[in-house]
Amino acid sequence: MAIFQLKINKKVHKVDVDEDTPLLWVLRDTLDLVGTKYGCGIGQCGACTIHINGVATRSCLLPVSAIHKSEITTIEGLSEKNNHPVQEAWKEIDVPQCGYCQAGQVMTASSFLKENSNPTTEEIREAMHGNICRCASYNRIEKAVALAAKKS
């Protein structure tokens, strides 16, 4: 066990966990930030996507000891009033079915749109390719990312 200071959603949290613990489980089990989801544990499904210094990252493979002073953003801290353009677009397009993967989808999309504010459909499909939606709400994800780009 070791003490780590993590900057999450603009607040500093002190946690006492094993060094090899993936950030995902620190967020979920230690800090009760359960919006970040467990899907596969091997970086294949994208359900655990968070931002590290603004860049979409899989938290299931990231040991807590590797984070250092990086700034972590989770779905809970993406916007103050849950009104990020991507969140707004998700509501407007009525994307979710079961909803389990959607926080990860939103985190991937919001990071992508920061890099590319005017993406083509092909670029959206490429950017979102790492996030699985088992309900296959893919048509709406595509539309919602395009709408969010317009809103941003």
Residues lying near other proteins in the complex (CB under 8 A): 1, 17-18, 21-22, 25, 28-30, 32-42, 44-45, 47, 74-76, 82, 87, 90-91, 94-103, 106, 125-126, 128-142
Joined together, the tokens standing for residue 152 give 């941003």
Residue 15 CB, nearest distance to other proteins (Å)? 11
- DSSP alpha helix (H) spans, 1-152: 23-25, 85-93, 102-115, 121-127, 138-151
Cβ-proximal residues to 151 (8 Å cutoff; 6+ apart), any chain: 85, 88, 89
For other proteins, the closer CB: 7 or 15? 15
C-beta of 16 vs 69, nearer to other proteins: 16
Q: Which is nearer to other proteins, 71 or 99 (CB)?
A: 99
Q: What CA–CA distance (Å, rounded) separates 89 from 125?
A: 16
> Shortest approach of other proteins to residue 111 CB, angstroms?
15
At closest approach, how far in Å is the CB of 152 from other proteins? 16
Residue with tokens 């939103």: 106
Nearest-approach distance from CB 118 to other proteins, in angstroms: 19
**DSSP characters for 72-93?**
EE-GGGS-TTS--HHHHHHHHH
CB 97 within 8 A of CB 139: no
- Least gap, CB of 20 to other proteins (angstroms): 8
Between 71 and 106, name the residue whose CB sits nearer to other proteins: 106
Among 79, 73, 31, CA closest to 55 = 73
